[in-house]
Chains A and B, each alone.
Chain A
Amino acid sequence: MLVLLFKNFIRSKGTRIGLLFLLIIGFISLLIGRQFQEKQQKNITEAVIYQKEHIARNAAFHKDEIGLLLYYIKFSLVNTTLPISSLAIGQRDVNPSIQSVTIRGLEAQKYDSELNNPSNLLSGNIDFSFVLLYLFPLLIIAFLYNIISEEKESGTWKIVTAQSPNIFLYILKLFYVRILSLIALLSLLLLIAVFFLQIPIDKTFILFYGIAVLYILFWFSVCFFIVSLQRNSNFNAVILLTIWLFLIIILPAGINTYIINKYKVPEALELTLTQRNAYHEKWDMDKQATLDKFYKHYPQFKNYPLPETEFSWLWYYAMQQMGDDESAVQSKEFESKLEQRNNTGELIARFIPTLHTQIQLNEIAKSDLRNQLLFLKETKQFHEKLRLHFYPKIFDNAPVDQQKWNNFKVETFNDNSENGFVKAFLPLLLFNLVLIGLGWRNFKC
């Protein structure tokens, strides 16, 4: 019986075209993922070469003044891109994965954006998560909107009811065949991805796979529920597409608008102005006052008094430091607003399976806002480490050629935040159970 049902399903021209289309576009998404991966790799290689050459050249020019040298040279920090990120690129195309900073004021450098074609950003990537989120449901709907209604409309339903002892079991088998085909397609695509994108099969990948399977099952559950209402094909098609439209476009877009308007971030611009003034005004202020503030932040440098000269690097870097110190409040506020945005988004997403899936996939792939915020925090620590290392050298005017410049390689940041199975699976699981339960009840009645 199952074999027959499967043959009947796969023989239809529409089914084959649908599956083939999804396979092809799924493969295209892997190609795009691969290109993304290669680009990230290339950037890192370039950053490494660039940093080496850049430091060497500047160190040769500014041999006697380490303070001046450090005005120029930049150190890079890389936000690791996991192989699995290529499946859910998320915000990685918007945000730079490499931060290059000098030891001057960080707030003026931290938010530098990546070069981007806004048209690409607007239309979005065809990454695997797009295929999974948008296109799989469409195929599921296409496979199921007329599953019983068509037989009713063409008059064959009576034959089916007469022939099979258990109608409900028959319907389950119809679903079973379709579920199996799509899960097989998903598994095939992800298997290709494992080899093609060198994705390690670890907990992360299993989590990713699990969410993808549950998400597909969610759409089967939705269809199961709608089919259980036993209306005609046209009604099913309209209502299923409307549900899709709601879950894929209207609700996410509405919620996004809500979050953006609720947590507005004028702090971003305020922060920029504040740090600019905080640093620049010090040029026209009492030098000792600036240095006192500096000593208060770093008591360990108290033994470096203000030199007699009109200009000194100690004073200069103290002024730069003030740019950061005096805009710290705004910076903190800004950061916490963004965290609120992320948390609220995640909280609401639990109730909207599409949104939940997208956010979870990006979280697993480390391509979400949270990852970006962690990267910014890490940039701050990285910058602070450099400062603390170089400040005494600058204040002593240590000889440039005695520094071990080779030790200053491009560093990497690994986001090690864990993703729990429960948090990822539970919302989808609950939605599935509720919909199947409701559908079951409808069929039994």
Chain B
Amino acid sequence: MKLLHTELLIARHFKNAVFKNSAVYIITLFIGVLLLFAAFSGWDNYKSQNETSEKYQHESREDWLKNPDKNPHRMAHYGNFAFRKSTSLSVFEFGMEPFFGNAIFLEAHKQNTANFSEAGFSNSMLRFGEISIAMVLQVLLPLLIFFAGFNSVAYERENGTLKILLSQGISWKQLLFGKILGIASIIMLFFVPTIIVLVLIWLMLQNFSISADETIKMLLFIGFHFIYLMFFSVIAVLVSASSKTSKKALVSLIGIWLIFTIILPRTTQSIGAYLYQAPSKIQFNSDIEKDILKQGDSHNPNDVHYKAIKDSLLRVYKVDSVQKLPFNYSGFIMTEGERISSNIYNKHLEDLLKIYEKQNSFSKAVSFLNPYIAMKNLSMGLSNTDYDSYIDFQKQAEQYRYNMAQKMNALQIKYISNKKPGPNDKPQTIDKNHWADVEEFHYEPKPVWEVLKTEITAIISILLWIILLLVLIKAAAKNLKAI
């Protein structure tokens, strides 16, 4: 207990020293304003995004149900929409949201792109980044820690007070821990109020009815950010302790910050994108079309694949023309066509996603060298604004599209007469009650365990960072010199 007393004393002393500088108050005020701005705009953005997407999801559902009796294939082209909804944590961490498409039109035969991303409607300003609470916590507070901490030991060394401290029987270990505690206590002055506001907003957004999954995500979000900020406090003190002058400490720390938060994230992702080139949409689509034609072209009357199906059907039902089959033949062919094209599409999509994952792998691997990337990936995962969540959304939408198209094909096979209508016949229809059989699209965000599984690299790297920094503190306590 007495030992801890010394460390607390050092911490308090350091904190007081920092607060003697009037600039700190300006910075505090400024960061406070920024946090409020981030919270407000995040909230505003989240609310309007979700309100719009809910409104139109609902509206499009109403429209779907309102359709009168008609041919089910018309309905398959009328289609449905998948609108993306955000999770409540995305108020604090925007992640890749601005680059996600917000709506996918789901219709038969065709996998449409996710359109209307915020980025598509912005000018290049967006590329400077966005102000969110997570950005303040992950980018600005580390710099603030460095600005507050570069002096921590180096200044005492420059002044000669370091020798006095050490000669008074304080060990290096106590000194380092004391300084780390000092910085941590300053940072907590920002962190704790932020978290309180964060939790309040988060509770209000969900009308105080929170799910276990969301709660665990929130707790992890807070916990990991706490650890992350502690990292930077430790790094600041260690660099300060091993620098001859405070200027050297400052320059090194600024360098570390720039490399961690600005240079490495962009460079590693760019290297990935440079080495593994992804096809453009036009190439992707024409490759799919080629493969589908290879499998069989339902428009071509002489196509081998479809001719074989036709012949076997005629044989089984012992009839001589498709018009005499006891079910709707074209519905049957469309079911087959949908199955083939969607299989081929999915295969190509898997290949494309593999390329994307390779592109991302550099950045993921670098999280071992860079706690910022690890933290960013983890917090994006927890707020479901990461790459995997987006792919997950697209896959859920495609699954829904496929089921809807096949449902309509099944209705056609079952209820639509096989006789080809003459040029003046009324089109054949089925009862509109069938439309309700297709359920509304509902996107289920990835649960916390799934997120942790996909972000396992980030978690391991954070654990390794904890170990590394503890080892470094120990080594520093042993090897550091007073002069």
| Contacts A91-B124, A123-B270, A253-B131; A118 near B105 (Cβ below 8 A) | no
Contacts of B363 in A (CB 8 A): 119, 123
The reply to whether the CB of B400 lies closer than 8 angstroms to some CB of chain A is: no
How distant is the Cα of A76 from the Cα of B34 in the complex, in angstroms? 46
| Contacts A91-B124, A310-B424; A269 near B56 (Cβ below 8 A) | yes
Q: Which of A35, A46, A252 contacts B282 (CB 8 A)?
A: A46
A228-285 CB contacts (< 8 Å) to partner B:
233-234, 237-238, 241, 245, 248-250, 252-261, 264-266, 268-270, 272-273, 276-277, 280, 283-284
Task: Show 9 residue pairs from A and B whose CB-CB distance is below 8 angstroms, ordered by the A residue.
Answer: A39-B280, A42-B283, A61-B300, A113-B114, A119-B363, A252-B128, A252-B129, A276-B79, A309-B423
Interfacial residues, chain B to chain A (CB-CB below 8 A) = 34, 37, 41, 44-45, 48, 52-53, 56, 59-60, 63, 67-68, 70, 74, 77-79, 81, 83, 95-96, 99-103, 105, 112-131, 135, 139-140, 143, 147, 150, 246-247, 250-251, 254, 258, 262, 265-267, 269-270, 272-274, 277-284, 286, 289, 299-300, 352, 356, 359-360, 363, 387, 390, 421, 423-427
The reply to whether the CB of A345 lies closer than 8 angstroms to some CB of chain B is: yes
How distant is the Cα of A427 from the Cα of B34 in the complex, in angstroms? 27
Contacts of A46 in B (CB 8 A): 280, 282-283, 286
Q: Are B48 and A118 within 8 A (Cβ)?
A: no
Complex interface bits, A85-102 against B, C-beta within 8 A gives 1, otherwise 0: 000001100111010100
Shortest C-beta distance, A21 to chain B (Å), equals: 10
Contacts of B127 in A (CB 8 A): 90, 124, 358
The reply to whether the CB of A338 lies closer than 8 angstroms to some CB of chain B is: yes
| Contacts A39-B277, A91-B123, A341-B121; A269 near B251 (Cβ below 8 A) | no
Q: Are A122 and B123 within 8 A (Cβ)?
A: no
Q: Are B116 and A268 within 8 A (Cβ)?
A: yes
How distant is the Cα of A10 from the Cα of B326 in the complex, in angstroms? 89
Q: Are B59 and A50 within 8 A (Cβ)?
A: no
Q: Are B282 and A47 within 8 A (Cβ)?
A: yes
A150-209 CB contacts (< 8 Å) to partner B:
153
The reply to whether the CB of A126 lies closer than 8 angstroms to some CB of chain B is: yes
| Contacts A234-B246, A254-B131, A266-B52; A341 near B122 (Cβ below 8 A) | yes
Shortest C-beta distance, B262 to chain A (Å), equals: 7
How distant is the Cα of A62 from the Cα of B73 in the complex, in angstroms? 21
The reply to whether the CB of A428 lies closer than 8 angstroms to some CB of chain B is: no
Shortest C-beta distance, A53 to chain B (Å), equals: 9
Q: Which of A31, A146, A265 contacts B121 (CB 8 A)?
A: A265
How distant is the Cα of A91 from the Cα of B125 in the complex, in angstroms? 10
Q: Are B360 and A310 within 8 A (Cβ)?
A: no
How distant is the Cα of A42 from the Cα of B278 in the complex, in angstroms? 12
Q: Are B119 and A126 within 8 A (Cβ)?
A: no
Complex interface bits, A122-140 against B, C-beta within 8 A gives 1, otherwise 0: 1111100010001000100
How many A-B Cβ pairs are below 8 Å? 248
How distant is the Cα of A289 from the Cα of B77 in the complex, in angstroms? 22
Contacts of B121 in A (CB 8 A): 265, 268, 338, 341, 369
Q: Which of A94, A233, A311 contacts B120 (CB 8 A)?
A: A94
Q: How many residues of A contact B (CB 8 A)?
A: 95
Contacts of A47 in B (CB 8 A): 282
Q: Are A280 and B125 within 8 A (Cβ)?
A: no
Contacts of A369 in B (CB 8 A): 121-124
The reply to whether the CB of A286 lies closer than 8 angstroms to some CB of chain B is: no
How distant is the Cα of A112 from the Cα of B300 in the complex, in angstroms? 28
Contacts of A269 in B (CB 8 A): 52-53, 56, 83, 102-103, 116
The reply to whether the CB of A114 lies closer than 8 angstroms to some CB of chain B is: yes
| Contacts A50-B282, A61-B299; A272 near B103 (Cβ below 8 A) | yes
Contacts of B60 in A (CB 8 A): 273, 276
Q: Are B103 and A358 within 8 A (Cβ)?
A: no
Q: Are B258 and A138 within 8 A (Cβ)?
A: yes
Q: Are B424 and A309 within 8 A (Cβ)?
A: yes
Complex interface bits, A104-118 against B, C-beta within 8 A gives 1, otherwise 0: 000010011111111
The reply to whether the CB of A359 lies closer than 8 angstroms to some CB of chain B is: yes
Specify the chain A residue showing the minimal Cβ separation from B27: A242
Contacts of A338 in B (CB 8 A): 121
Specify the chain B residue showing the minimal Cβ separation from A369: B123
Q: Are A255 and B125 within 8 A (Cβ)?
A: yes
In the complex, given contacts A114-B281, A256-B125, A338-B121, what are 12 additional A-B residue pairs having Cβ atoms less than 8 angstroms apart? Answer: A46-B283, A47-B282, A54-B289, A91-B123, A121-B119, A126-B270, A153-B247, A252-B128, A259-B125, A265-B121, A269-B53, A368-B123
Shortest C-beta distance, A337 to chain B (Å), equals: 8
Q: Which of A42, A241, A345 contacts B125 (CB 8 A)?
A: A345
Contacts of A379 in B (CB 8 A): none
How distant is the Cα of A94 from the Cα of B37 in the complex, in angstroms? 27
How distant is the Cα of A137 from the Cα of B421 in the complex, in angstroms? 73
Q: Are B124 and A368 within 8 A (Cβ)?
A: yes
The reply to whether the CB of A418 lies closer than 8 angstroms to some CB of chain B is: no
Q: Are A122 and B270 within 8 A (Cβ)?
A: no
Q: Are A118 and B424 within 8 A (Cβ)?
A: no
Specify the chain A residue showing the minimal Cβ separation from B59: A273
Interfacial residues, chain A to chain B (CB-CB below 8 A) = 28, 31-32, 35, 39, 42-43, 46-47, 50, 54, 61-62, 76, 90-91, 94-96, 98, 100, 108, 111-126, 130, 134, 138, 146, 153, 233-234, 237-238, 241, 245, 248-250, 252-261, 264-266, 268-270, 272-273, 276-277, 280, 283-284, 308-311, 338, 341-342, 345-346, 349, 354-355, 358-359, 362, 367-370, 372
Q: Which of A35, A94, A258 contacts B274 (CB 8 A)?
A: A35
Q: Are A256 and B63 within 8 A (Cβ)?
A: no
Q: Are A94 and B125 within 8 A (Cβ)?
A: no
Specify the chain A residue showing the minimal Cβ separation from B273: A120
Shortest C-beta distance, A36 to chain B (Å), equals: 10
Q: Are A234 and B270 within 8 A (Cβ)?
A: no
How distant is the Cα of A153 from the Cα of B423 in the complex, in angstroms? 96
How distant is the Cα of A54 from the Cα of B95 in the complex, in angstroms? 39
How distant is the Cα of A188 from the Cα of B387 in the complex, in angstroms? 38
How distant is the Cα of A369 from the Cα of B121 in the complex, in angstroms? 7
Q: Are B281 and A130 within 8 A (Cβ)?
A: no
Nearest 4 pairs between A and B by C-beta? A252-B128, A123-B269, A369-B123, A121-B99
Specify the chain B residue showing the minimal Cβ separation from A334: B121
How distant is the Cα of A255 from the Cα of B123 in the complex, in angstroms? 11
Contacts of A257 in B (CB 8 A): 37, 41, 45, 130-131
Contacts of B53 in A (CB 8 A): 269
How distant is the Cα of A153 from the Cα of B248 in the complex, in angstroms? 13
Contacts of B52 in A (CB 8 A): 266, 269
Specify the chain B residue showing the minimal Cβ separation from A280: B78
| Contacts A261-B45, A310-B423; A234 near B105 (Cβ below 8 A) | no
Q: Are A237 and B128 within 8 A (Cβ)?
A: no
Contacts of A62 in B (CB 8 A): 299
Contacts of B278 in A (CB 8 A): 115, 117
Shortest C-beta distance, A213 to chain B (Å), equals: 20
Most buried by A among B251, B277, B280: B280
Q: Which of B122, B284, B356 contacts A117 (CB 8 A)?
A: B356
Shortest C-beta distance, B97 to chain A (Å), equals: 9
Q: Which of A237, A248, A309, A341 contacts B123 (CB 8 A)?
A: A341
Q: Are B147 and A115 within 8 A (Cβ)?
A: no
How distant is the Cα of A47 from the Cα of B421 in the complex, in angstroms? 39
Q: Are B282 and A43 within 8 A (Cβ)?
A: yes
Contacts of B299 in A (CB 8 A): 61-62
| Contacts A61-B300, A272-B105; A120 near B269 (Cβ below 8 A) | yes
Q: Which of A234, A261, A284 contacts B247 (CB 8 A)?
A: A234
Q: Which of B114, B128, B143, B266 contacts A123 (CB 8 A)?
A: B266
| Contacts A119-B359, A234-B247, A264-B48; A256 near B254 (Cβ below 8 A) | no
Q: Which of B130, B254, B262 contacts A237 (CB 8 A)?
A: B254
Q: Are A308 and B99 within 8 A (Cβ)?
A: no
Shortest C-beta distance, B74 to chain A (Å), equals: 6
| Contacts A115-B352, A260-B122; A237 near B251 (Cβ below 8 A) | yes
Q: Are B131 and A250 within 8 A (Cβ)?
A: yes
Q: Are A118 and B281 within 8 A (Cβ)?
A: no
Q: Which of B81, B115, B279, B390 contacts A111 (CB 8 A)?
A: B115
